[in-house]
């Protein structure tokens, strides 16, 4: 009140005041909103209650008002008066405007106001209600706008409204009162559920308040589902949840899969994870619930907490579920992996920080080991702890055994890691296997083409590369790989193996330095039978 | 059909909204909306409408300093509402006096208002809505730019955005007349049609029957009818550009690698760019030749200056030709740079081996070799999603992997990528992208999203619709003679093939068996008056729910040329294999 009356008042007070007044004392609220004069008129000329006055303003298309109603939703004041405005289309509303309404200025914003429609206006309300939004005002209300009174602190001494203005207002009030009678009559009439849903689909105002019986509510829900409009569906679901007891709610939800999905989607996007998991459990969708719990458990960063949450998750959601036995096994593996990584990480990071350990100085660690995949861990172990025995935590062999790492995968990591360390002897040992008669033989489960590529990637010296390229059996492939890994010696050897002198001569011409010399030696050699 | 009017109306609507706050104000815009806004209202437009400063909405930013009026323009999402409410509350606590308008795109949602109410800020906020739905991206392409549609509708089965699709169609009809003949391919399409029907009847907008519709047919298609296409490696230039650089609202960002400049260059890629119009839908192998021939032509253009005799000649050369030449020069440089960048990337990824595997998966041959290839990629821990894509393709085409294969492959996948990706596997299973074949003893899961499931389904469909050309070598990549050229002759995008069948048959006659194989089926709502069919517009609108790829766009452009029809493509978003898969994995 103070705010509306004293235009020059500080805006801070204005806010303080108005928000303070948002409380249950509905009676006064309206006074705040209406321009001083209008309010006075209303109070003197009619016995109408506050909420009825709101309706009047709906009809003048004052953007703010219906909001009050919306908010009233919560406050138990019985002034829920949505029926007056809501359904009337924009066009209809314009025609019901009293003659004094400045339709020209209204028309100016016609487009945008038809876009936002009644319901929107209802919500925009509170701001407009305090008379703040200039543009809103220009749309609907004619005369001394509150907003000018309240906001224009820069121009304090505005002139008082003229008697013509007051006259106009008087007429307006009479008109509005008539409209109000009509509205009053319709006020408590329940709309068919179909109409309410239609209004929601079209973005118009509606109310659920009058649907009190369970049957009505469920009819509303079914109608919403029928409409395929997710917005309407979830609104009805939440209305249901608020107004019927949990057991009934759950029962009715279970009968409607579409409603279930919308409710779950809402819970998920509203971050109500606990409720979501409970609800999933109730529906018997335990895999989904468990996976969701698991997903959240995985998000913790702190090693100790992460291991602990995963363990809890395992016991609560995976172990008891028969159909999740495979996932349970995997989760157990994950926990074991993390418990293996944690002490290794602690030791190694200390060792690295001390600066005393040569290997960490030569090959600084790129990231924390904790939480890395099995493959990365294996590579790490092969890099820093290759020679550890199987009973040690950081032993590559122990890791391989625990996680059933395939020989292929093992060879990949070990080759990469040892090549990076320039430990060519290790590589030879890796690829050596015992032959049938006690002899040894070089063998690679991943094929020597892949071996060569890995060595190439780690920038292995050409003589090492050439040695393994030469073990590729298919000669054409051997030549291809030799070219791919850019190893001239291997290319020359491959061409020799192919006995393709012409190609070799051509290739030699592109070479320089000692590779060219090697090629020329080969070309001079008499022991090769060229094609 | 001229989309100009859509752009104009969008501008008007935005203009009006901005003017509802007549004072100078700041604008806080959702990051998702900046690109779409660039397409219909630039900075100067905003400035003209009293916008002082423009901020991008940043949920981590607690307080924004600025003028006393602020307009937020954001996508209607709960989490965004929370971020805004937090900002407002923080500013209120500081004692800031400010008035807020929140403009929700594309419409007000109950849940958004609920958040503002529960956060206690509704009293300081005016809520408006901006029905920004289809954004014209080119003369034949529109997009909702709503990538969330996919996960929301197909994964959460939330129908919120169905309304947006339906109302975008009703809006189109308001501009271009009621579409008389509608085909719905899939479940979501049917919902859209039904909602559209009820909106048409209710919105009260009069549709004079005598206005000739400018769109003769609408074909609504569901993404979940075909998950194979987005997983296939693109081969046309535009699709490759999107994959490599990401095209957003037809705007591409070329970095140093392409331009050689230190600053990124934003380039608008539409049919107005003559060079681009020619090459966008070409098979990649056929792009470079064109660019080099253009470069030669450009040289002749520059050479003209040697023949300039008079001052007048020179003047006209400098003022006319030179500008065009320079422009063309620049465009050519970018495209050549982009081609090189794509080639370089592909080479580093062992492209040829991957394509070989992908094509044999589609053909259904050499399964063992393909599995070995995938295993090898997992061993090498390739960083991309490609092993997973291949695995999904394998599962989709075979109707799930046999149990032992599934277990072994997923184990290796988890070892390579980390156990936490169990969640990914679960998501893939839910959407039907990567499944374990169920033996007859275990009951079939009561509900899983369709996809092309069941063993025979993909193969049967592929055979019935001839999706996989018998001899790919017959497909001419230079001057395409089949839609499958977009995947080097390895596969025809299923949805495009369905469109082809509908156009070819003029309806659904004789498609009964195919309809049975399409998840959700196909239905037709034909309201063409018997004598009116002749006057029906030959423009066909194809609307993708859940996103389409540039490969599909290229295929459709090729297709309608064969029927001498016009096509307009609308989509909820344009996706790539990666963005599609990431949406599934969330």
Tally of helices (H runs) and strands (E runs) in chain B: 25, 15
Cα A118 to Cα B267: distance, rounded to the nearest angstrom: 42
CB-based contact, A102 to chain B, within 8 Å: no
CA contacts within 13 A on the Cβ side of B366? 13
- Chain B positions touching A270 (Cβ under 8 A) are 78, 111
8 Å CB contact between A368 and A338: no
Q: Which structure tokens are listed for B299? A: 């040289």
Q: What is the ipTM of this complex?
A: 0.91
- What's the token pair of residue A481? 């790989």
Q: Does A404 touch chain B (CB under 8 A)?
A: yes
**Nearest CB neighbour to B199, from listed A71, A201, A412:** A201
Which two tokens mark B285?
């192998």
Determine the pLDDT at residue B497: 95
Residue A124 pLDDT exceeds 80 = no
Distance from C-alpha of B335 to C-alpha of B291, rounded to nearest angstrom: 8
Could you tell me the CA-to-CA distances from B293 to B275, B288, B296, B300 in Å, in that order? 11, 9, 5, 11
Contact A295/B12, CB-based, under 8 Å?
no
- Chain A residue closest to B103 (CA)? A116
Which of helix, strand or coil describes residue B432? coil
pLDDT beyond 70 at A139 = no
pLDDT of A437 reads 74
State yes or no: pLDDT of A68 exceeds 60: no
Whether B379 has its CB under 8 Å from any CB of chain A: the answer is: yes
Find residue B104's DSSP bridge partners: B74, B129
Quick check: B126 and A128 CB within 8 A? Answer: yes
Digit-coded pLDDT (tens) for A25-58: 333 333 344 444 554 454 445 444 444 444 433 3
Residue A274, token pair as written in the block = 């606990």
Q: Is the pLDDT of residue A91 over 50?
A: no
Q: How far apart are the first and last CA of chain B?
A: 37
Say what the pLDDT of residue B261 is: 83
Q: Which A residues in the span 152-171 are in contact with B, Cβ-Cβ below 8 Å? A: none
Chain A, 244 to 303: residues with Cβ < 8 Å from chain B are 258, 261-262, 264-266, 268-270, 287-288, 291, 294-295, 298
Q: Is the separation of the CB atoms in A531 and A500 below 8 Å? A: yes
Q: Is A446 in Cβ contact with B418 (below 8 Å)?
A: no
- Cα-to-chain-centroid distance, residue B507: 26
Closest CB to B126 among A124, A265, A373: A124
B chain contacts of residue A261, beta-carbon cutoff 8 Å: 156-158
Distance from CA of B418 to the nearest CA of A (A): 4
Preceding peptide of B106 cis, ω within 30°: yes
CA atoms of B569 and B553, how far apart (whole Å): 7
d(CA B24, CA B17): 13
Most confident of A5-9, A218-222, B561-565: A218-222
Q: What are the backbone dihedrals phi and psi of residue A423, each rounded to the nearest 5 degrees, phi first?
A: -100, 80
**A234: contact with B, CB 8 A cutoff:** yes
Provide the pLDDT for residue B439. Answer: 60
Q: Tell me the C-alpha distance between A432 and B76, whole Å.
A: 63
Question: Which residues have CB under 8 Å from B523's CB, separation 6+?
Answer: B183, B184, B190
* β-bridge partners, B129: B104
Closest residue in A to B381 (Cα) is A375
Distances (CA, A) of B472 to B233, B357, B466, B487, B492: 16, 15, 12, 10, 11
Q: Distance of CA B223 to CAs A435, A499, B343, B424, B545, Å?
A: 56, 55, 29, 20, 6
Structure tokens at B188: 């979501």
A123 chain-B contacts, CB cut-off 8 A: 108, 113, 122, 126-127
Is the Cβ of A115 closer than 8 Å to some Cβ of chain B? yes
pLDDT tens, per residue, chain B with 586 residues: 788 889 999 999 999 999 988 889 999 999 999 999 988 888 899 999 999 999 999 999 888 888 899 999 999 999 999 999 999 999 999 988 899 999 999 999 999 999 999 999 999 999 999 999 999 999 999 999 999 999 999 999 999 999 999 999 999 998 888 888 999 999 999 999 999 988 886 555 545 554 678 898 999 999 999 999 999 999 999 999 999 999 999 999 998 888 888 888 888 999 988 889 999 999 999 998 899 888 888 888 888 777 777 888 888 888 778 888 888 888 898 999 999 999 998 888 888 899 999 999 999 889 999 999 999 999 999 888 999 999 999 999 998 999 999 999 999 999 999 999 999 999 999 999 999 987 644 444 444 445 444 445 899 999 999 999 888 788 888 889 999 999 999 999 999 999 999 999 888 988 998 999 999 999 999 887 666 555 678 899 999 999 999 999 999 999 988 988 999 999 999 999 999 999 999 8
Q: Which residues of A touch B129 (CB under 8 A)?
A: 115-116, 120, 203
Q: Hey, is the C-beta of B373 within 8 angstroms of any chain A C-beta? A: no
Does A129 score more than 70 pLDDT?
no
Residue in B with minimal Cα distance to A74: B117
Residue pair A90/A28 in contact (Cβ under 8 Å)? The answer is: no
CA distance A313 to chain B (A): 13
Chain A nearest-CA distance from B361, in A, is 22
Interface test with A, best of B25, B92, B126, B545 (most A CBs within 10 A): B126
User: What is the distance between the alpha carbons of residues B450 and B439, in angstroms, rounded to a whole number?
Assistant: 18
Confirm or reject contact between B113 and chain A (CB < 8 A): yes
A249's tokens? 């709610």
Q: Give the CB-side neighbour count of residue A78, counting CA atoms within 13 A.
A: 4
Of B335, B239, B344, nearest to B578 (Cα)?
B239
Residue A31 has what pLDDT?
38
Element spanning B104, H or E? strand B99-105
Residue B363 · residue B305 · CB < 8 Å: no
Mean local confidence (pLDDT), A165-182:
86
Residue B74 to residue B36: CA distance in whole angstroms: 12
CA geometry: angle B402, B405, B410, nearest 5 deg: 120
B 1-30 near A (Cβ less than 8 A): 12-13, 16-17, 19-23
Is A77 strand, coil or helix? coil
Task: Nearest by CB to B127, from A89, A124, A294: name it.
Answer: A124
Cβ–Cβ contact B320 with A under 8 A: no
The pLDDT, as a whole number, for residue B533 is 52
**Pick from B575, B585, B586, B536: which is nearest to B226 by CA?**
B575
**Taking the model in full, what pTM does it have?**
0.80
Q: Which 425-464 residues of chain B touch chain A by CB within 8 A?
A: 426
Name A368's Cβ contacts closer than 8 Å, sequence gap at least 6: A345, A349
- Conformation bin of residue A155: beta by default, left when phi > 0, alpha when psi is -120 to 50: beta
Closest-CA distance of chain A to residue B568, Å: 26
Q: Does A134 touch chain B (CB under 8 A)?
A: yes
Q: How many CB atoms lie within 10 A of CB B446?
A: 5
Distance of CA B391 to the CA centre of its chain: 23
Q: Which positions 431-470 of A are in contact with B (Cβ < 8 Å)?
A: 446, 450
The confidence band for A117, taking pLDDT boundaries of 50, 70 and 90, is very low
Residue B352 touches chain A, beta carbons under 8 Å: no
Check if B366 contacts A (Cβ < 8 Å). no
| pLDDT at residue A461 greater than cutoff 80 | yes
Identity of the residue in A230, A270, A375 whose CB atom sits nearest the CB atom of B416: A375
Residue of B nearest to A19 (CA): B123
- The interface residues of chain B toward chain A in range 186-245, judged by CB-CB distance below 8 A, are 191-192, 194-195, 198-199, 202-204
Of A14, A111, A227, the CB nearest to B198: A227
- What pLDDT does B456 receive? 59
Pairing of strands B265-268, B251-254: antiparallel
Residue B568 β-bridge partners: B541
Q: What are phi and psi of B268, to 5 degrees?
A: -85, 125
Question: Would the CB atoms of B199 and A202 count as touching at under 8 Å?
Answer: yes
Residues of B in contact with A265 (CB under 8 A): 152, 156-158
């Amino acid at each position: 009140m103070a705010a509306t009356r004293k235009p020059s008042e500080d805006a801070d007070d204005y806010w303080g005041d108005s928000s303070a007044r948002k409380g249950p004392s509905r009676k006064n609220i309206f006074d705040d909103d209406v321009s001083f004069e209008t309010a006075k008129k209303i109070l003197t000329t009619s016995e109408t209650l506050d909420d009825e006055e709101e309706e009047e303003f709906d009809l003048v298309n004052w953007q703010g008002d219906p909001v009050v109603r919306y908010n009233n939703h919560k406050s138990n004041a019985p002034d829920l008066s949505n029926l007056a405005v809501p359904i009337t289309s924009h066009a209809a509303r314009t025609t019901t405007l009293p003659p004094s309404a400045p339709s020209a200025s209204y028309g100016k914003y016609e487009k945008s106001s038809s876009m936002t429609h009644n319901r929107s206006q209802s919500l925009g309300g509170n701001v407009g209600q305090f008379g703040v939004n200039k543009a809103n005002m220009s749309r609907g209300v004619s005369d001394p706008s509150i907003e000018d009174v309240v906001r224009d602190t820069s121009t304090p001494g505005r002139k008082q409204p003229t008697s013509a203005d007051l006259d106009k207002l008087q007429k307006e009030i009479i008109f509005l009162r008539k409209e109000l009678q009509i509205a009053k009559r319709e006020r408590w009439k329940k709309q068919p559920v179909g109409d309410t849903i239609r209004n929601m689909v079209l973005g118009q105002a509606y109310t659920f308040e009058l649907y009190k019986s369970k049957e009505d509510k469920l009819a509303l829900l079914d109608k919403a589902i029928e409409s395929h409009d997710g917005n309407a569906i979830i609104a009805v679901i939440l209305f249901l949840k608020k107004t019927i007891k949990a057991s009934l709610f759950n029962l009715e939800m279970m009968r409607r899969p579409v409603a279930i999905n919308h409710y779950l989607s809402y819970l998920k996007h509203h971050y109500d994870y606990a409720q979501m998991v409970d609800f999933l459990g109730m529906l018997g969708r335990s895999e989904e619930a468990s996976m969701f719990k698991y997903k959240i458990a995985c998000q913790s960063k702190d090693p100790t907490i992460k291991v602990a949450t995963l363990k809890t998750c395992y016991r609560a959601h995976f172990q008891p579920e028969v159909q999740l036995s495979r996932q349970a096994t995997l989760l157990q593996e994950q926990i074991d992996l993390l418990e293996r990584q944690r002490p290794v990480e602690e030791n190694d990071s200390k060792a690295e920080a001390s600066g005393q350990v040569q290997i960490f100085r030569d090959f600084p660690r790129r990231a924390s080991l904790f939480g890395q995949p099995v493959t990365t861990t294996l590579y790490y172990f092969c890099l820093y702890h290759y020679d550890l025995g199987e009973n040690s935590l950081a032993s590559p062999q122990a890791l391989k055994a625990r996680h059933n790492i395939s020989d292929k995968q093992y060879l990949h990591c070990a080759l990469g890691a040892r090549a990076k360390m320039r430990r060519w002897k290790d590589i030879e040992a890796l690829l050596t296997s015992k032959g049938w008669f006690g002899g040894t033989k070089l063998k690679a489960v991943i094929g020597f083409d892949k071996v060569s590529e890995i060595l190439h990637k780690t920038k292995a010296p050409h003589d090492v590369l050439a040695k393994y390229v030469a073990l590729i059996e298919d000669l054409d492939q051997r030549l291809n790989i030799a070219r791919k890994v850019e190893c001239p010696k291997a290319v020359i050897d491959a061409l020799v193996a192919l006995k393709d002198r012409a190609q070799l001569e051509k290739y030699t011409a592109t070479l320089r330095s000692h590779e060219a010399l090697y090629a020329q030696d080969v070309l001079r050699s008499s022991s090769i039978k060229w094609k | 059909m001229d989309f100009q009017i859509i752009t104009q109306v969008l501008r008007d609507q935005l203009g009006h909204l901005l003017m509802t706050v007549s004072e100078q104000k700041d604008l806080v815009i959702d990051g998702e909306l900046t690109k779409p806004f660039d397409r219909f209202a630039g900075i100067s437009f905003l400035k003209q409408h009293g916008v002082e400063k423009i901020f991008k909405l940043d949920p981590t930013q607690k307080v924004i300093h600025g003028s006393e009026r602020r307009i937020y323009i954001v996508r209607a999402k709960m989490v965004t509402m929370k971020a805004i409410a937090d900002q407002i509350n923080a500013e209120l606590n500081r004692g800031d006096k400010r008035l807020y308008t929140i403009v929700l795109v594309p419409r007000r949602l109950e849940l958004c208002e609920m958040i503002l109410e529960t956060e206690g800020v509704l009293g300081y906020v005016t809520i408006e809505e901006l029905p920004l739905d289809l954004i014209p991206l080119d003369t034949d392409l529109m997009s909702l730019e709503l990538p969330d549609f996919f996960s929301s509708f197909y994964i959460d089965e939330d129908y919120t955005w169905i309304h947006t699709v339906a109302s975008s169609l009703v809006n189109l009809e308001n501009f271009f007349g009621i579409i008389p003949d509608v085909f719905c391919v899939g479940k979501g399409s049917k919902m859209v049609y039904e909602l559209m029907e009820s909106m048409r009847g209710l919105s009260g907008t009069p549709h004079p029957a005598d206005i000739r519709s400018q769109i003769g047919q609408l074909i609504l298609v569901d993404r979940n009818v075909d998950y194979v296409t987005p997983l296939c490696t693109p081969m046309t230039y535009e699709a490759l550009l999107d994959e490599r650089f990401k095209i957003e609202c037809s705007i591409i960002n070329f970095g140093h690698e392409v331009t050689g400049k230190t600053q990124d260059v934003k380039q608008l890629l539409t049919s107005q760019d003559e060079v681009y119009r020619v090459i966008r839908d070409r098979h990649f192998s056929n792009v470079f030749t064109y660019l080099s021939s253009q470069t030669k032509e450009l040289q002749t253009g520059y050479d003209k200056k040697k023949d300039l005799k008079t001052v007048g000649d020179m003047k006209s050369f400098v003022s006319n030709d030179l500008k065009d030449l320079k422009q063309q020069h620049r465009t050519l440089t970018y495209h050549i740079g982009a081609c090189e960048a794509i080639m370089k990337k592909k080479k580093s990824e062992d492209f040829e081996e991957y394509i070989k595997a992908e094509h044999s998966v589609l053909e259904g041959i050499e399964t063992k070799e393909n599995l070995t290839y995938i295993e090898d990629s997992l061993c090498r821990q390739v960083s991309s999603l490609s092993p997973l894509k291949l695995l999904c393709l394998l599962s989709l085409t075979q109707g799930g992997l046999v149990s032992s294969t599934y277990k072994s492959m997923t184990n290796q996948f988890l070892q390579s990528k980390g156990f936490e990706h169990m969640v990914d596997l679960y998501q893939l299973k839910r959407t039907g992208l990567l499944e374990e074949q169920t033996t007859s003893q275990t009951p079939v899961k009561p509900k899983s999203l369709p996809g092309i499931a069941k063993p025979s389904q993909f193969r049967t469909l592929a055979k019935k619709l001839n999706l996989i050309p018998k001899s790919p070598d017959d497909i001419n990549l230079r001057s395409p003679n089949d839609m499958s050229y977009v995947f080097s002759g390895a596969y025809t995008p299923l949805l495009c093939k369905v469109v082809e069948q509908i156009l070819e048959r003029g309806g659904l006659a004789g498609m009964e068996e195919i309809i049975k194989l399409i998840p959700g089926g196909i239905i037709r709502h034909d309201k063409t008056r018997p004598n009116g069919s002749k006057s029906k517009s030959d423009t066909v609108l194809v609307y993708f729910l859940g996103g389409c790829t540039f490969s599909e766009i290229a295929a459709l452009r090729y297709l309608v040329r064969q029927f001498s029809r016009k096509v307009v493509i609308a989509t909820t978003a344009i996706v790539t294999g990666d963005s599609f898969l990431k949406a599934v994995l969330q």
